[in-house]
Amino acid sequence: MLDDTAPERRLVRYSGRGAFSPGIIDRAEGSTVFTEDGRELLDFTSGQMSAILGHSHPEIVATVRAQIDRLDHLYSGMLSRPVLDLARRLAGTMPEPLEKSLFLTTGAEANEAALRMAKLVTGRHEVVSFARSWHGMTQAAASATYSAGRVGYGPAAPGNFALPVPDRFRPDIVDADGNLDWRRQLDLGFDLIDAQSVGSLAACLVEPVLSSGGVVDLPPGYLAALRDKCHERGMLLILDEAQTGLCRTGDWYAFERDGVVPDILTLSKTLGAGLPLAAVVTSAEIEREAHDRGFLFFTTHVNDPLPAAVGGTVLDVLARDRLDVRARELGERLRGGLGELAGRHPAIGDVRGRGLLVGLELVDGPGGDADKLGAAVTGRCAELGLHMNIVQLPGMGGTFRIAPPLTATEAEIDRGLEILDTALTDVADR
């Protein structure tokens, strides 16, 4: 019989693999979380990949205190100054024609709204996303998610198609030199989609860097080619920048590198810097068409003032402290250090990513178990004071998603590298 104070006694387990992380977290500050028993963990996941300003950032704390004392929640049809200000300022960070925003709570909710809008505007229902995608656990978002959670829940929404992932480390279609031939892969993917479609292709929903899919950065040129494939078929391109948006990759938005502006952009995690805030951003033309057709996405916390005020403070800090530049600099330091570790540890197969969203893939040799190795290294890192996150997919458990806060110090990056070095020596090099 379980102890009545044990987490498993009263909580529903929701991660798929069941177990919660060991220890009870008491508080967090900056890049560090503190357990009830006095341990300190360097947080290299920014909470749930969200706390880009670190934990308990003083300006976020001050905003929450001031705003909740004045105005926290309203009837969903009412507007407040924080919402209007955030919409204006968010548009100012983006290229034209992205200018109209809808503020929600989570990434799944934002993707749900974006897909609903795309279906209404196009008058179609079919959706394309990557074969290792993660877009959320609500109906349309879950139906466009292929990395996990499809087995045992009955039929997904009809008209969802998977596109092959352009993984340069593990390419499935190669050129004469053995490198990923992503153009041929993309052509083949859409040939198969066209063969299955009933002529109702509405949208393509993708991440510019697949995070849960293994931190796979789309090859330069891929996003533009994908946009062209979509527009040739009358589809809308929706980019999910839950984890890549707002300076994480070294640019304000990951799509900027490729010069590709999506028809609809979804933001979440990073916009609230750890608080529940998400956004759907689109053009005036698409918003007008959706409105004329009766677009409905009326939720309890749509356009709430408290999280909107936090979003405004997040934009303040990102711009003032030039955290896009900071993410590039820290990312170079992190990837350089991981490259040095790769030279000493044969278990490191690949280092990839952009800015402070970095993937580290372990390999365990022929017949080895990279999933088991990844879990062991993760556990050893936690024992030594570093919280790391492995991709929770069968066959990909040897891939780490490394995403420290953009406010981390050089010393914290170096400390994390030292701990990982020790963990690899203790576990992988034996």
> What distance in Å separates the CA atoms of residue 119 and residue 144, rounded to the nearest whole number?
14
Q: Is residue 149 part of a domain?
A: yes
Answering whether pTM is above 0.85, one says: yes
Q: What's the confidence (pLDDT) of residue 245? A: 98
Which residue segment(s) compose the domain that 353 sits in?
A: 7-56+322-427
> What distance in Å separates the CA atoms of residue 364 and residue 362, rounded to the nearest whole number?
7
**Residue of 100, 119, 132, 269 marked active site:** 269
Q: What's the confidence (pLDDT) of residue 17? A: 66
> What distance in Å separates the CA atoms of residue 42 and residue 387, rounded to the nearest whole number?
6
Closest CA to 359 of 220, 134, 209, 234: 209
Picking from 320, 355, 374, the residue at the C-terminal end of a domain is 320
Looking at the fold, whether 362 and 278 belong to one and the same domain comes out as no
Say what angle helices 81-91 and 305-320 make with each other, to 10 degrees: 40
Neighbour count for residue 329 (Cβ, 10 Å) = 15
Taking phi over 0 as left and psi of -120 to 50 as alpha, with beta for the rest, 221 belongs to: left
Is 364 an annotated catalytic residue? no
Q: Is residue 65 part of a domain?
A: no
> What distance in Å separates the CA atoms of residue 289 and residue 100, rounded to the nearest whole number?
13
Looking at the fold, whether 203 and 274 belong to one and the same domain comes out as yes
**Residue of 132, 304, 401, 412 marked active site:** 401
Q: What's the confidence (pLDDT) of residue 394? A: 65
Q: Is residue 335 part of a domain?
A: yes
**Residue of 109, 167, 181, 207 marked active site:** 207
Looking at the fold, whether 358 and 314 belong to one and the same domain comes out as no
Looking at the fold, whether 297 and 330 belong to one and the same domain comes out as no
Structural domains of the chain, count: 2
Looking at the fold, whether 208 and 89 belong to one and the same domain comes out as yes
Omega within 30 of 0 (cis) for the link into 97: yes
Q: Is residue 2 part of a domain?
A: no
Is 233 an annotated catalytic residue? no
Q: Is residue 64 part of a domain?
A: no
Looking at the fold, whether 295 and 338 belong to one and the same domain comes out as no
Q: Is residue 178 part of a domain?
A: yes
The tokens of 418 are what? 């030292």
> What distance in Å separates the CA atoms of residue 14 and residue 105, rounded to the nearest whole number?
19
Pairing status of strand 389-390 against strand 386-387: unpaired
Looking at the fold, whether 164 and 16 belong to one and the same domain comes out as no
Looking at the fold, whether 45 and 155 belong to one and the same domain comes out as no
Taking 3-state DSSP, the helix, strand and coil percentages for the chain, each rounded to the nearest 5, stand at: 40, 20, 40
Tell me if 67 sits within 8 A of 306, measured CB to CB. Answer: yes
Closest CA to 133 of 258, 240, 280: 240
Q: What's the confidence (pLDDT) of residue 347? A: 94
CA dihedral 382, 383, 386, 387 (to 10 degrees): 10
Q: Judging by beta carbons within 10 Å of its beta carbon (0-12, 13-18, 19+), is residue 20 exposed, middle or buried?
A: middle
Q: Is residue 1 part of a domain?
A: no
> What distance in Å separates the CA atoms of residue 50 and residue 244, rounded to the nearest whole number?
10
Looking at the fold, whether 43 and 166 belong to one and the same domain comes out as no
Looking at the fold, whether 139 and 211 belong to one and the same domain comes out as yes
Picking from 320, 341, 370, the residue at the C-terminal end of a domain is 320
The tokens of 172 are what? 């499935």
Q: Judging by beta carbons within 10 Å of its beta carbon (0-12, 13-18, 19+), is residue 415 exposed, middle or buried?
A: middle
- The pair phi, psi for residue 292, each rounded to 5°, is -65, -25
**Residue of 43, 112, 167, 240 marked active site:** 240
> What distance in Å separates the CA atoms of residue 142 and residue 265, rounded to the nearest whole number?
18
**Residue of 243, 335, 352, 412 marked active site:** 243
Which CATH number do you get for residue 78? 3.40.640.10
Picking from 287, 320, 353, the residue at the C-terminal end of a domain is 320
282 DSSP β-pair partners: 100, 264
pLDDT tens track, the chain, 430 positions:
557 767 777 888 887 766 788 889 999 999 999 999 999 999 999 999 999 999 999 999 999 999 999 999 999 999 999 999 999 999 999 999 999 999 999 999 999 999 999 999 999 999 999 999 999 999 999 999 999 889 999 999 999 999 999 999 999 999 999 999 999 999 999 999 999 999 999 999 999 999 989 999 999 999 999 999 999 999 999 999 999 999 999 999 999 999 999 999 999 999 999 999 999 999 999 999 999 999 999 999 999 999 999 999 999 999 999 999 999 999 999 999 999 999 999 999 999 999 999 999 999 876 678 888 998 999 999 999 999 987 766 666 689 999 999 999 999 999 999 999 999 999 977 6
Q: What's the confidence (pLDDT) of residue 238? A: 98
Which CATH number do you get for residue 349? 3.90.1150.10
**Residue of 67, 132, 134, 324 marked active site:** 134
Q: Is residue 61 part of a domain?
A: no
Alpha helices in 197-322 (DSSP H): 222-232, 269-272, 284-292, 305-320
Is 269 an annotated catalytic residue? yes
3-state secondary structure 2-58: CCCCCHHHHCCCCCCCCCCCCCCEEEEEECEEEECCCCEEEECCHHHHCCCCCECCH
Q: What's the confidence (pLDDT) of residue 20? A: 82
Looking at the fold, whether 296 and 159 belong to one and the same domain comes out as yes
Looking at the fold, whether 258 and 359 belong to one and the same domain comes out as no
Is 182 an annotated catalytic residue? no
